[in-house]
Chain A
């Protein structure tokens, strides 16, 4: 599945690309860090009676394993790992999908998270009451400022994802607005609404099934 919205970039170089499998135990396998820009996540299509903006209510599904968008017709398969709708991020787990997915939120820097700690507890989705990545402001990855009417990703929040196939990835949301730029506080509400629900995030996926990045 391709999308004109989607531009993927390989951001980090394969710093240890000469390393081979079977090297000494403990060496960190090279994983690429990929930045995904302008991923639409149920963008606004209208206003409710009380002036509340709403979208079509559909998730945008993404495969971290293959670094690509997944059609919503595949929502009941293991082809996707995470899905985005507004500020809600689902995993292919629990009642969200048939996969072996899950997630937890780690406080820290993306670069410093080099290994999923062995005592980590991956949660699974139990929508709408509880998601593996908790929904709501100041809870998992974002904070909503009602005065400024802006959603901002909290710095130092890493979403540790178990993919649909039980492999591991780490995700950091960088921005929630089109073009990766949060509008100014003084921007019009109109502007803030039109530009919201476009994710910029970076991720690293470990294809070999280990817990190191």
Chain B
């Protein structure tokens, strides 16, 4: 390997890299396990030496697969399910989208709606790799890292080059990107532009309202680097996005049609200044700033009534963090971090746009890596978060990695994760006039709003839950992961991991009062507990020249513990669809949390000709049935008609690369044209596309069959 890219990489992610000198020997022959991962420990580590389950998706796989947005490529990874609702969210180890932290170059992306960060907001065209760490990582990252952490690492310029991609597909979907990176003396510059647009599609015959409305999304990114000496580096990243999504909502009642048209606009801005200083071999100090702004606006107008609806949401997230990595000997290494976060939200969902809600979070984290012998690594981590709005949280984690001979490794970890109560749960002040006039109040405003309603004589009955309203506590999980990795020769690896997540203090909406006339008043309480558990297996085999096969599988079980309790007590009933009569629910009929598939599997084949000119791939993704919605009124998934059908999606593509840096990639997503309008509105049916790419300068080498993991 050329040393230069490594040096540049070091300069882009220096705080992560000085650890590479440590004596974690990695003699496993399979190259996949040699891949460098930064997300799992916040220091650079080889995949094979990690004690937590990690998936790596390379740039080459993203490009070969023809993925455009983050959701496209994540949906093809073992154990990850892309779920619809407030955009496309990701389910990791059976946990809902709000419990997985999404980072871009190590910094959290903001702008979650009802807890979901819409993966469609993120282009993958300039992504160098995606690291997915499963299981709780709050000991390093704090809030939201329960199910896992997904870190999107964008192109740190490896060399001077210019590139452009142009893609066109069904539904007038176009995607255009341009990249430029250059270096001059001590300066580095990378810039990237992307424009993505589609006219949307209809899965149901309805001329007025599409399943996915026309949209366009633009992304711009600039990264600057300055290296005044070999010990200091300065880096500045700027990223901005602008999304516009047309909206039309049609309600048909008794022949009358109410059509609302409007526009949703989302804007995102991220600034990431970083200073790294390496005063001596053993010590690296990093000072990171991060400022992110997210502004969302939704405007709707009812065409024949003129009633305007406007929803605005502005969020900022500012963070200053210092991290020190210190080698304390040949077999030990410590990381210490300190930081503070200021978060603000303004929204007309909470009182008015004039009122600024804010929260301050101070934290520190420690991680110590210790090798008691040359076969074992023990990692201890601890993080403390002190927040102005909720009770303080300690997040410990302990993990162990051990080699058994040359081929086997064992890994085990146990850690705590948490998710802080969000602004919605604290400050929401919402009245729905249409659906029975229900109201939802965040816990911080519930008492005063209830007083106001009572004084106005609007409250019929106050429930005991109102008196249980307190300062919300963070939702917590304890996650255990244990598994093995096996590698034989250069061609075969097998990873197996078993997991269990115990989730407590789950925040749910609950009725706190009834208004005169029966309207309900809701607020938020830490009431529920649940678990997810399963087994995940990944097999990879590089067989004939240029061919790489992989097979992934996840078995998943989930349950709401209070439902389990009620079923055991005989207090849960179901309605027999044939007779219409109630019957006591059998425990075996309870299917666990909705939206979870018991089985998920993927089979992928990537082939590349030895001269690198031709490539072909096929990816088959299977999801067994999952709970869609309750039909018999008991609030849980138990009847066959309450499931969405399991399905198989087949994606394939092929490409040709010329020496002049021009390549052509054509593909078809969803070859079998599978559609389910109700449960899979994001799957548009068969979707052919063609991409033309041009690169000048040092192109990214084709690495798919060399050392990248598909």
- A interface residues (Cβ-Cβ under 8 A, vs B): 44, 46-47, 49-53, 88, 107, 109-110, 128-130, 134-139, 142-148, 152-157, 172, 174-175, 180, 182, 185-186, 188-190, 193-194, 200, 202
Cα distance A137–B435 in the bound complex, in angstroms? 11
Instruction: Please tell me if the beta carbons of A143 and B635 are within 8 angstroms of each other in the complex.
Output: yes
Instruction: Please tell me if the beta carbons of A153 and B575 are within 8 angstroms of each other in the complex.
Output: yes
Say whether chain B's binding surface is mostly helix, strand, loop, or mixed: loop
Q: Mask for B301-312, Cβ within 8 A of A = 1, else 0?
A: 000010100000
Cα distance A144–B519 in the bound complex, in angstroms? 12
Instruction: Please tell me if the beta carbons of A185 and B678 are within 8 angstroms of each other in the complex.
Output: yes
Contacts of B575 in A (CB 8 A): 153, 155, 174
Answer yes or no: B27 CB below 8 A from chain A CBs.
Answer: no
Contacts of B253 in A (CB 8 A): 47, 51, 53, 189-190, 193
Cα distance A47–B261 in the bound complex, in angstroms? 20
Cα distance A50–B514 in the bound complex, in angstroms? 23
Cβ < 8 Å to A, chain B residues 249-263? 251-256, 258
- B interface residues (Cβ-Cβ under 8 A, vs A): 251-256, 258, 305, 307, 433-436, 460-461, 511, 514, 516-520, 571-575, 580-584, 629-635, 677-678
A53-B253, A135-B518 given; 19 more Cβ-contact pairs under 8 Å: A46-B254, A51-B253, A53-B254, A109-B582, A130-B461, A139-B518, A144-B435, A145-B630, A152-B630, A153-B575, A154-B633, A155-B573, A155-B574, A155-B632, A174-B575, A175-B580, A185-B629, A185-B631, A194-B254
Q: Quote the shortest CB–CB distance from A59 to chain B (angstroms).
A: 15
Q: Quote the shortest CB–CB distance from A56 to chain B (angstroms).
A: 14
Instruction: Please tell me if the beta carbons of A129 and B582 are within 8 angstroms of each other in the complex.
Output: no
In the complex formed, the residue of B with least CB distance to A174 is B580
* A/B interface sample: 10 pairs, CB < 8 A: A51-B253, A143-B630, A145-B630, A146-B435, A153-B633, A155-B632, A156-B573, A156-B634, A174-B580, A189-B252
Instruction: Please tell me if the beta carbons of A152 and B581 are within 8 angstroms of each other in the complex.
Output: no
Q: Quote the shortest CB–CB distance from B645 to chain A (angstroms).
A: 13
Residue of B307, B434, B633 near A155 (CB, 8 A) is: B633
Instruction: Please tell me if the beta carbons of A188 and B573 are within 8 angstroms of each other in the complex.
Output: no
Q: Quote the shortest CB–CB distance from A50 to chain B (angstroms).
A: 6
The 3 A-B residue pairs with the shortest CB-CB distance, nearest first, are A156-B573, A135-B518, A152-B633
Q: Quote the shortest CB–CB distance from B466 to chain A (angstroms).
A: 15
Cα distance A51–B307 in the bound complex, in angstroms? 12
Instruction: Please tell me if the beta carbons of B258 and A51 are within 8 angstroms of each other in the complex.
Output: yes
Contacts of A152 in B (CB 8 A): 630-633
Cα distance A72–B429 in the bound complex, in angstroms? 41
Cα distance A185–B258 in the bound complex, in angstroms? 20
Instruction: Please tell me if the beta carbons of B518 and A142 are within 8 angstroms of each other in the complex.
Output: no
Contacts of A137 in B (CB 8 A): 436, 520
A155-B436 contact given A46-B254, A193-B253, CB 8 Å threshold: no
Contacts of A143 in B (CB 8 A): 630, 633, 635
Cα distance A53–B254 in the bound complex, in angstroms? 9
Instruction: Please tell me if the beta carbons of A138 and B511 are within 8 angstroms of each other in the complex.
Output: yes
Residue of B518, B573, B631, B633 near A88 (CB, 8 A) is: B518
In the complex formed, the residue of A with least CB distance to B579 is A174
Residue of A107, A148, A156, A157 near B629 (CB, 8 A) is: A148
A147-B436 contact given A46-B254, A129-B460, A189-B252, CB 8 Å threshold: no
Residue of A53, A138, A186, A193 near B677 (CB, 8 A) is: A186
Cα distance A51–B631 in the bound complex, in angstroms? 25
In the complex formed, the residue of A with least CB distance to B307 is A50
Cα distance A156–B254 in the bound complex, in angstroms? 33
Instruction: Please tell me if the beta carbons of B254 and A172 are within 8 angstroms of each other in the complex.
Output: no
